[in-house]
């Protein structure tokens, strides 16, 4: 683990994290599950700090952009995990140490290994160090989705979006709202959003409509 900025107290955790199921049992499958959850929490925290005006939906999409198989495989390659993977003979012959899914899973398992070896605080520090540059590279947006959608429509001379409350449910202190956002031009686009407030639901719906509209304009 020379490329990871962490020294394991118990190297057995790292060895297990780098043991693919093709090598038999025990292997890193359970650790992948734990590592995926840990990555989600820490990356969500980083994005929450870096994008104070982003909606829930936008934050979720940014997290998915950073925590997916392709992105995690890139980090795994930078850490040279492929050189340390323990694979079965079949995977070894077929070049499994280069396979994106295997590398991504190994990285998730390695995150879990740090957690099991030293606890959440140490795991959080390791993950933040790896992902802070990636989060910093994402452009900050000072305007929320509703504002950006409205400004785009106004700039083109198109009608403003229409928001409709579809449903609200739950106790007064913990309500959930479903809201639809719709535009008529340049083409009819409608999307729904859900949030703990009407505003949050509107932002999520607006973000989806905005993304669809931008894809149309770029296409």
Q: In CATH, what number is assigned to the domain containing residue 47?
A: 1.10.1520.10
**Residue finishing a domain among 116, 136, 156:** 136
Would the annotation count 105 as a binding residue?
Answer: yes
**Residue finishing a domain among 136, 167, 197:** 136
Question: Could you list the active site residues?
Answer: 36, 108
87 pLDDT more than 60:
yes
Rounded CA gap, 212 and 165, in Å? 21
Does some domain include residue 1?
Answer: no
Residues 125 and 166 in one domain: no
Q: Which residue has the tokens 């905005």?
A: 210
**Residue finishing a domain among 136, 170, 203:** 136
Would the annotation count 108 as a binding residue?
Answer: yes
Would the annotation count 49 as a binding residue?
Answer: no
Rounded CA gap, 154 and 152, in Å? 6
pLDDT at position 170: 86
Residues 24 and 99 in one domain: yes
- pLDDT tens string 167-196: 999 887 778 999 999 999 988 999 999 988
> Cβ(79)–Cβ(18) under 8 Å?
no
List the domain range (segments joined by +) for residue 87.
11-136
Residues 103 and 190 in one domain: no
CA-CA distances (angstroms) from residue 159 to 66, 150, 151, 180, 185? 34, 9, 11, 16, 7
CATH number at residue 184: 3.30.160.20
Say which residue, 97 or 29, is predicted with more confidence: 29
Does some domain include residue 6?
Answer: no
pLDDT at position 175: 86
142 pLDDT more than 70:
no
Residues 106 and 182 in one domain: no
pLDDT at position 99: 80
Its pTM surpasses 0.85: no
Average pLDDT, the chain: 89
pLDDT at position 90: 79
Does some domain include residue 40?
Answer: yes
Residues 58 and 106 in one domain: yes
Residues 32 and 56 in one domain: yes
Does some domain include residue 181?
Answer: yes
140 pLDDT more than 70:
no
């Amino acid at each position: 683990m020379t490329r990871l900025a962490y020294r394991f107290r118990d190297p057995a955790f790292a060895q297990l994290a780098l043991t693919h199921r093709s090598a038999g049992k025990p292997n890193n499958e359970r650790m992948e599950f734990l590592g995926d959850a840990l990555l989600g929490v820490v990356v969500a925290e980083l994005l929450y700090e870096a994008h104070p005006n982003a909606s829930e939906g936008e934050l979720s999409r940014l997290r998915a952009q950073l925590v997916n198989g392709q992105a995690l495989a890139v980090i795994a390659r930078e850490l040279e995990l492929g050189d340390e993977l323990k694979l079965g003979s079949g995977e070894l012959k077929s070049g499994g140490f280069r396979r994106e899914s295997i590398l991504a899973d190994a990285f998730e398992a390695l995150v879990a290994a740090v957690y099991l070896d030293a606890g959440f605080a140490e795991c959080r520090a390791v993950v933040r160090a790896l992902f802070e540059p990636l989060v910093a590279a994402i452009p900050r947006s000072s305007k929320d989705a509703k504002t950006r959608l409205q400004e785009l429509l106004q700039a083109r001379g198109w009608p403003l979006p229409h928001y409709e409350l579809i449903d609200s449910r739950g106790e007064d202190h913990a309500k959930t709202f479903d809201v639809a956002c719709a535009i008529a031009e340049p083409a009819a686009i409608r999307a729904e959003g859900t949030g703990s407030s009407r505003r949050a639901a509107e932002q999520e719906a607006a973000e989806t409509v905005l993304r669809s509209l931008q894809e149309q304009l770029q296409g």
